[in-house]
Structure 1
Amino acid sequence: MTQQDVILCAIRERRSVRHYTGEPVARETVRTILDAGRWAPSGLNNQPWRFLVVFPGDPRQEVLAGLTKYARIVREAGALIMVCLERQRMYNAMKDHQGAGACIQNMLLGAHAVGLGAVWLGEIVNRGDEVLTATGLSPERLELMAVVALGHPERAGGGDRIPLDDMLLEPF
């Protein structure tokens, strides 16, 4: 299998996984996933993303569960990664938000590569400042982009895709 095949296969096979076995997630594995995120592209190479990792048993896990309609996922996760942007490092909101998306996608692919399941929880950003304050972080310093839930998959994620031709604004 060529590098191209491996990469494209990982992109096609990665799914959002919302059910976990409860088996612990190793800290070193989480570091590998964070490192994948760290390598995402960013405008001016400003790399404004910052992470807070919450493991089971940390009281902030229950705090996060109380601030999202996806509480079950948060409670069952083997680790949670809060992805934030450091406001002082940002230079353009749209570009920095796009960079955060690339960072999160890298982490989702990294989780898939190491055999974990993951899901990007975006709904929680509707209460971003409240989430930051409740977890001991500063809304003046940081902007919440997402929480990524990780765990050993209990079952595979699913999801179909709209055909490519239906997405094209004009054929080529």
Structure 2
Amino acid sequence: MLTENPVLQAIRQRRSIRRYTDEAVSDEAVRLILEAGIWAPSGLNNQPCRFLVIRADDPRCDILAAHTRYGHIVRGAKVIILVFLDREAMYNEVKDHQAAGAAVQNMLLAAHALQLGAVWLGEIINQAATLLPALALDPARLSFEAAIAAGHPAQNGSSSRRPLAELLLEEPFPQPE
């Protein structure tokens, strides 16, 4: 049955996890998460996404935490992956921002597949103008898209979705007569 497909199951089962154990995340797990990100689609296959990995023991974690109201999540994570667009590799702003979103979703699904917990931190991008220089990154070259906090989960996630019928602009499926 289609609903038993592992990809479809992972999409339905993945949850945002905001609390983590003290267990470190292996280099291999981080590599697999990043590789999932680079396999996301991008317009013209321009691959504009760039990534920066910051571990829990890195002093830059304090800089990140100070630039978001979710600093407690940043401080609790064992790894933070920052996602950027390289402005020199971009060709269409909308499509390239969509590519970054696809990369983030791939990485969240990879973390889930590796039995890690992760959450997409979006609010932190509001501080890009001060955060990037504080991290010695060039805001003229890099567009800050997202941060992913990850670690071994110390909580269960939960979520719900509105029924599909509420979100459709029109009914695409034939109705029985």
Tell me by how many angstroms 1:134 deviates: 1.0
C-alpha RMSD of matched pairs (Å): 1.4
Is contact 2:37–2:103 with CA below 8 Å preserved after alignment?
A: yes
Q: Which residue of 2 aligns with 1:125?
A: 125
Q: Which residue of 2 aligns with 1:57?
A: 57
Distance 1:170 1:56 in 2: 47
Tell me by how many angstroms 1:35 deviates: 0.2
Which shows bigger deviation, 19-28 or 9-18? 19-28
- Correspondences of 1:81-92 after superposition (within 5 Å): 81-92=81-92
Q: How many residues align structurally?
A: 172
AA matched with 2:101: G
Q: Which residue of 2 aligns with 1:140?
A: 140
TM-score (norm 1): 0.97
Gap runs ≥5 in structure 1:
none
Q: 1:67 to 1:22 in 2, by over 3 A?
A: same
Q: 1:82 to 1:157 in 2, by over 3 A?
A: same
Tell me by how many angstroms 1:10 deviates: 0.3
Distance 2:143 2:30 in 1: 22
Which shows bigger deviation, 144-153 or 126-135? 126-135
Tell me by how many angstroms 1:88 deviates: 0.2
Q: 1:99 to 1:154 in 2, by over 3 A?
A: same
Is contact 1:54–1:79 with CA below 8 Å preserved after alignment?
A: yes
Is contact 2:3–2:9 with CA below 8 Å preserved after alignment?
A: no
Q: Residue deviations 1:70-108, cap 9 Å, x none?
A: 000000001000000000000111110001000000000
Q: Which residue of 1 aligns with 2:71?
A: 71
Tell me by how many angstroms 1:132 deviates: 1.2
Q: Which residue of 2 aligns with 1:168?
A: 168
Tell me by how many angstroms 1:3 deviates: 10
TM-score (norm 2): 0.94
Is contact 1:129–1:144 with CA below 8 Å preserved after alignment?
A: no
Tell me by how many angstroms 1:4 deviates: 6.6
AA matched with 2:95: K
Q: Which residue of 2 aligns with 1:96?
A: 96
Q: Which residue of 2 aligns with 1:30?
A: 30
Q: Which residue of 1 aligns with 2:21?
A: 21
Distance 1:167 1:48 in 2: 31
Is contact 1:129–1:143 with CA below 8 Å preserved after alignment?
A: no
Tell me by how many angstroms 1:38 deviates: 0.4
**Structure with greater Cα Rg:** 2
Tell me by how many angstroms 1:129 deviates: 2.4
